[in-house]
Amino acid sequence: MKIGILCYPTSGGSGVIASELGMALAARGHEVHLFSYRSPFRLRPHSDNFQWHEITIPQYPLFEYPSYGMAAACRVAEVELDVLHCHYAYPHAVSAFLAKEMTGQKLKTVTTLHGTDILLVGQDASFTRATKFGLERSDAITAVSAFLRDKTLSWFDVSPKIHVIPDFVDARRFSPTAGPRESTIVHVSNFRPVKRTADAVRALYLIRRRVPATLVLVGTGPEKEAVRELAGRLGILSSVRFIGEDPEVEAHLRTAGLALSTSEFEGFGMSVLEAMACGVPVVATESGGVSEVLSEACGRTASVGDVEALAAAAVEILRDQNLARTMGEAGRRRAEELFDVDRVVPQYEALYERVCGASNAENLSV
């Protein structure tokens, strides 16, 4: 099949899973076209079946506020596709509708909900109607967790059924190491307010009173400098490493003693899953879809904003190597059994086949 993927290229979960899905589909023999305004940071060397298309926004004196959504629609319409898979409801689902109109209704569209696109952007009065419009005009809608599906249906009365297809991990790439683990805590974030990255720094401040730990922050975003300043004020800046957007995030996870997620909300919890696949115990906030990823056997949870509880759970795990090993092994098993790429990607292939009305199963590599 000729599959288009429209996404943001940033370090958030939607951009990560869109990139990983595109590469997985190309590896399975599909012709994949990924559209974004810059190359997604998680893209790695890929097959000849994969092509990235840059969305450029024209700058004219008349257009004081150029439209990214329209530019995306026009770029997609230039490529002949069977199906366009949109990641992030607004504006991408609306852009997909426009591209569909430009191509004479031949293009089928799938929209995947990741979380903040519905719970933050979608709830803004300026975008609610457009978000609902884009969802209604999609040929199929998916959500990355049952929690997110149910939340969406409680706020938006949409006619297409919302299918739950979880995020996934390549368990061959994200795998445990045989070597010793360090007293290192890894936090993967796009440094937006919803991620509450400052809570990770506050937790480290409490943790270091009892365990000589180091915090590794992978990613970048608008609150990065504020987080750095907080670490300085708390006197622990030398114990915090700012890695930036590193596409080889598994290198930081494999030797970590713990992964820490402090989000106010997660539609799924991609960083949690990738840590589990690497055999790393997790401490996370009770933030929506995470409960469908992380079981009690794999880590500990605390209420959003409860820095003391997060720190206490981290200290318990870092001090008890047997507990950490048991949790890591349980997380690895859960990642392999429920969320491996080879279990999840065929669900998307089957969905594409249904929306396109494909009758020849040979078109799919399932």
Could you report the per-residue pLDDT of 136-177, keeping only the tens digit for each? 999 999 999 999 999 999 888 887 899 999 999 999 999 998
Distance in angstroms (rounded) separating the CA atoms of residues 301 and 287? 9
| pLDDT of res. 362 | 40
For residue 345, what are the domain limits? 2-168+341-363
Residues 331 and 352 in one domain: no
Does residue 175 form part of some domain?
A: no
Q: In which band, very low, low, confident or very high, does the pLDDT at 238 lie, cut at 50, 70 and 90?
A: very high
Residues 298 and 206 in one domain: yes
Task: Mention every residue, 6+ apart, whose C-beta is less than 8 A from residue 303.
Answer: 285, 286, 309
The rounded percent of the chain whose pLDDT value lies above 70 is 96
What is the residue-averaged pLDDT of the chain?
Answer: 92
Residues 159 and 26 in one domain: yes
| pLDDT of res. 123 | 65
Model confidence at 363: pLDDT above 80? no
The rounded percent of the chain whose pLDDT value lies above 90 is 76
Task: Give the tens place of pLDDT for each residue, 88-134.
Answer: 888 999 999 999 999 887 899 999 999 888 876 656 778 888 899 99
Residues 6 and 88 in one domain: yes
Task: Give the tens place of pLDDT for each residue, 196-216.
Answer: 999 999 999 999 999 999 999
Residues 193 and 64 in one domain: no
Q: Where are the alpha helices (DSSP H) in 159-278?
A: 197-207, 224-233, 249-254, 270-277
Model confidence at 29: pLDDT above 50? yes
Residues 58 and 151 in one domain: yes
Q: Where are the beta strands (DSSP E) in 2-63?
A: 2-6, 31-36, 50-54
Model confidence at 282: pLDDT above 90? yes
Tell me the whole-structure pTM to 2 decimals: 0.91
Q: In which band, very low, low, confident or very high, does the pLDDT at 366 lie, cut at 50, 70 and 90?
A: very low
Burial class (CB in 10 A: 0-12, 13-18, 19+), 161: exposed
Higher pLDDT, 42 or 17: 17
Distance in angstroms (rounded) separating the CA atoms of residues 285 and 330? 19
Distance in angstroms (rounded) separating the CA atoms of residues 87 and 10? 12
The DSSP 8-state label assigned to residue 38 in this structure reads S
Residues 303 and 348 in one domain: no
Residues 158 and 199 in one domain: no
Distance in angstroms (rounded) separating the CA atoms of residues 124 and 90? 11
Cα distance between the two ends of the chain: 12
Q: Structure tokens of 301?
A: 């949870």
Q: Which CATH number characterizes residue 134's domain? A: 3.40.50.2000
Tell me how many domains the chain contains: 2
| Helices 92-102, 68-77: inter-axial angle, 10-degree rounding | 40
Task: Give the tens place of pLDDT for each residue, 68-83.
Answer: 999 999 999 999 999 9
